[in-house]
Amino acid sequence: MDADTFREFGKAAVDFIADYYENIRDCDVLPSVAPGYLINQLPKELPENPQQWQEILQDVSKLIVPGLTHWQSPNFHAFYPTGCSYPSIVGDMLASGLSVIGFNWLCSPASTELEMVVMDWLAKFFKLPAHFLHSTKGPGGGIIQGSASEAVLVAVMAAREQAVRRVKAAQPELSEGEIRARLVGYSSDQSNSCIEKAGILGTLPIRLVAVDDSLVFSGTQLAKAVKEDLAKGLIPAICIATMGATGTCSYDDIESLATVCEEHNIWLHVDAAYAGCALALDDYAHLRQGLDRVDSLNYNLHKSMPVHFDCTAMWLRDSHKIVESFTVERIYLQHKYEGQTDIPDFRHWQIPLGRRFRALKVWVAFRTLGAEGLREHIRLRIRLAERFEQYVLADSRFELVAKRAMGLVCFRVKGGNELSTELLKRLTDRKKIYMVQAIFQGKTFLRFVVCGMEPKECDIDFAWQEIESQLSQLLSEQEVAKLEVSSLEAKKAEECHKESVKVPQVHRKDDVVGISQQLSSGLHISLGAAEKCK
């Protein structure tokens, strides 16, 4: 492809993306395809001859888009959001366009230095302790990892190597193998699956401590687990606290966990993947408590910031501990300034050697929005969740399961678990909105999360109409089913007791269908209002 064709193709692709976003509300949020839909439409062999970009772009529209779950649709309310914005997309286009691999400073000074700058910007925006800033010129600093999973794994492996060194120095009679076999880590049973996985990958089993109904993992629980493990001869190496757990967005008590960790030389990592954005708002200043005592911290810009995947900020209190553990030297990786400046070679802070220029999309997005724009991005999602919460509170058929936290509302249909599960099944089959369920204290509940690139109030109204009208439909159908059962029973009774004079009178099915028709036409009128949401 020559540069002129690239210009045409690139511009057409940008138009295509803009059209996609402008019309995203027209699509069902979930796709209507069956497994194999794409495999069956594509050739089995790589095409022998070159094809035109026009044809390829057309196929993206015709074949790829129908198989997408629209994560950036404002009707997506599952999991947690994945951030996105036009400036972030353009920033990443530029990074792809420049295509550099910045594993050490010389391999692209701009890549390393811009990353240091934006990580310091973000640390200050979050008012993190100064020892996490590169500009403090201490051993601390920030790096962009691909995902929270990677950041946690790096922390687990660094903690593991630290523990091995420490114990070996104190008890030289123990072999390294003996020490490694005794290491153990801790997190709450509410923590993300990636924590347990990091323990498996990092050969450091993570004990998931069961928390009580408050869902808060605190120092008391950690101290008890540590005591039990020490008695068994195990060596506690890391504790991973969560700010904003995946189920209900609960927060662990970092201050009290830190006290136990300091006493036992345990590495304390905080996974703030989603809710870390709260640190940007003064209303949530109390969440900073204890952060001055943690060894490392991760926050996913690609969740609650207008920056798209993959982009996880990770801060280290003492990067030497990681560099010590992970440094592997080769003559071809050396450069003139290596180890002579305060500028890190980020290859030592991460799992792969190569690294993308992720700082560019962050820089473009941050500059385009400004600090106040970023705060407003976060506040808007909180306000919209509050709007949804008000709807739940105003409808006596529903109840909240936990306190609303950031952009997450946990709610359920009052009564048995089947009602919430059945409601979710219907909503998912209809594909107008997408939520997932979770369980708390044996109760199944639905998680409503404000997601999408540009959610608005009318999107929340649309979601609520969909939810409450489907519940009405479900309840009226159950009513019909009940009546049918009783009519059947009545018939049986009639047959058994032919001689009995009076048969109980039952409602005809049609009466109830009449009601649901009325409901759905009512819904149609209100849906008309939501359709204006553009």
Q: Which two tokens stand for residue 397?
A: 């058929």
Q: Binding to ligand PLP by residue 149, rule CB under 6 A? A: yes
User: Which residue stretch of 181-189, 243-251, 316-324, 401-409 sits at the interface with ligand PLP (rule: CB under 6 A)?
Assistant: 243-251
C-alpha to C-alpha distances, 366 to 28, 145, 293, 363, 376, nearest whole angstrom:
31, 18, 28, 5, 12
Q: Binding to ligand PLP by residue 464, rule CB under 6 A? A: no
- Closest to ligand PLP by CB, 204 vs 313, is 313
Q: Binding to ligand PLP by residue 103, rule CB under 6 A? A: no
Residue pair 381/304 in contact by the 8 Å Cβ criterion: yes
- Closest to ligand PLP by CB, 304 vs 470, is 304
- Closest to ligand PLP by CB, 162 vs 246, is 246
User: Which residue stretch of 4-12, 143-151, 155-163, 205-213 sits at the interface with ligand PLP (rule: CB under 6 A)?
Assistant: 143-151
Q: Is 192 a catalytic residue?
A: yes
How many CB atoms are located within 10 Å of the residue 446 CB? Answer: 24
User: Least CB distance from residue 209 to ligand PLP, whole Å?
Assistant: 16
Q: Binding to ligand PLP by residue 194, rule CB under 6 A? A: yes
Binding letters toward ligand PLP, positions 73-92, x by CB under 6 A: -------x------------
Rounded distance between C-alpha atoms, residue 165 and residue 278, angstroms: 36
User: Which residue stretch of 239-247, 259-267, 347-355, 394-402 sits at the interface with ligand PLP (rule: CB under 6 A)?
Assistant: 239-247
Rounded distance between C-alpha atoms, residue 100 and residue 97, angstroms: 9
Q: Binding to ligand PLP by residue 516, rule CB under 6 A? A: no
User: Which residue stretch of 244-252, 324-332, 455-463, 506-514 sits at the interface with ligand PLP (rule: CB under 6 A)?
Assistant: 244-252
Work out whether the CA dihedral 439, 441, 446, 451 comes out positive or negative.
negative
Which residues within the stretch 308-347 sit at the binding site for ligand PLP (CB under 6 A)? 312
Out of 85, 190, 242, 420, the residue judged to bind ligand PLP by CB under 6 A = 242
Q: What is the DSSP secondary-structure string of 273-316?
A: TTGGGGGGSGGGGGGGTTGGG-SEEEEEHHHHSS--SS-EEEEE
Binding letters toward ligand PLP, positions 40-79, x by CB under 6 A: ----------------------------------------
Of 97, 84, 81, the closest CA to residue 20 belongs to: 84
For residue 296, the cross-strand partners are: 269, 316
User: Least CB distance from residue 299 to ligand PLP, whole Å?
Assistant: 10
Q: Which two tokens stand for residue 42?
A: 């594509």
- Closest to ligand PLP by CB, 255 vs 310, is 310
With 0-12 CB in 10 A as exposed, 13-18 as middle and 19+ as buried, what is 527?
middle
C-alpha to C-alpha distances, 136 to 123, 189, 276, 359, nearest whole angstrom:
12, 36, 22, 20
Which residues within the stretch 251-310 sit at the binding site for ligand PLP (CB under 6 A)? 271, 273-274, 300
User: Least CB distance from residue 272 to ligand PLP, whole Å?
Assistant: 7
Q: Which two tokens stand for residue 434?
A: 């997408």
Which candidate in 49, 75, 104, 192 is catalytic? Answer: 192
Residue pair 363/118 in contact by the 8 Å Cβ criterion: yes
Q: Look-up: residue for tokens 């400046």?
A: 341
Q: Which residues does the annotation mark as catalytic?
A: 192
Give the interface with ligand PLP as residue ranges (CB under 6 A): 80, 147-149, 192, 194, 242, 244-246, 271, 273-274, 300, 312
